[in-house]
Structure 1
Amino acid sequence: MIPQRLKALRKSKQLTQEQLGKEINVTKVSVSGYENGNRTPDTATLQRIADFFAVSVDYLLGRTDKPTSILTPASSQENLFFLDEESITPEEAEELKKHLEFLRYKAKEVNREEME
């Protein structure tokens, strides 16, 4: 699955194999090997690819057809366990995170006022 998805992602950004290689710190030959299925990126490279294209490693590996996770590492720390990842968009998840931050801010203000 990596070969097809990597090539599609690279082409969607209109990058050459050489340009992508520079971005993820590998050679053009390595990128070509990944896209042809002759080579497999190591874990660190796979993560750099995912980060560069803002997709999940699971997407690159074919474990999911969703390019990105709804909960980013930062928002997953917010314990947004009540969200149904399948039914909200990334934009909605970001909006919910902003609301949560605002609610925490207001709660701190109320606590501060009660302490005075």
Structure 2
Amino acid sequence: MNRLKELRKEKGLTLKQMGQLLNMLDSTLSQYENGRRRPKEETWKKLADFFDASVPYLQGATTYEVLDPLEKGIYDHVTVAMDRAFNEYALLPETREKILKTIAYSIENGEFN
């Protein structure tokens, strides 16, 4: 589950207003919010800039906000690498989060040395 709808509502914007500000169709934004369509990497970055948030946070990462700056950098790097590696696969945000958590767990427990 991504956080686009939550952040849009926090800003007090309708889909139409947000679409106008971002020069995007409100129907496309609605599909992004509801998980029926996945934004491209450059669109995630545009949305992250708009909301002053990270791409992983927008995509629903639950641990991102509590990470220190070094961990956030690693997390962002792994997320970008996953986007490139799995570009042709339609991974759900929940699946991506599980993969990232597995990698983080493995690093924390010394499984990657």
TM-score, L = length of structure 2: 0.53
1:11-60: CA deviations, max 9, x gaps?
00000101111222210110111112111111111111100111100101
Deviation track 1:65-91 (CA, whole Å, cap 9, x = no partner) reads: 4459765xxxxxxxxx6xx98xxxxxx
Listed as ranges, the gaps of 5+ residues in structure 2 are: 73-113
Asked whether 1:39 is paired with 2:43, we answer no
Q: What do you get for the CA RMSD once the two structures are aligned?
A: 2.5
Change (3 A) 1:63 1:57: same
Q: 1:59 & 1:12 partners in 2: Cα distance?
A: 15
* Cα distance in 2, alignment partners of residues 15 and 69 from structure 1: 29
Gaps of 5+ in 1: 72-80, 86-116
Distance 1:22 1:70 in 2: 34
Larger Rg: 1
* TM norm structure 1: 0.52
Identity among equivalent positions (%) equals: 43
Alpha-carbon separation, structure 2, partners of 1:29 and 1:42: 16
Matched pairs, number = 72
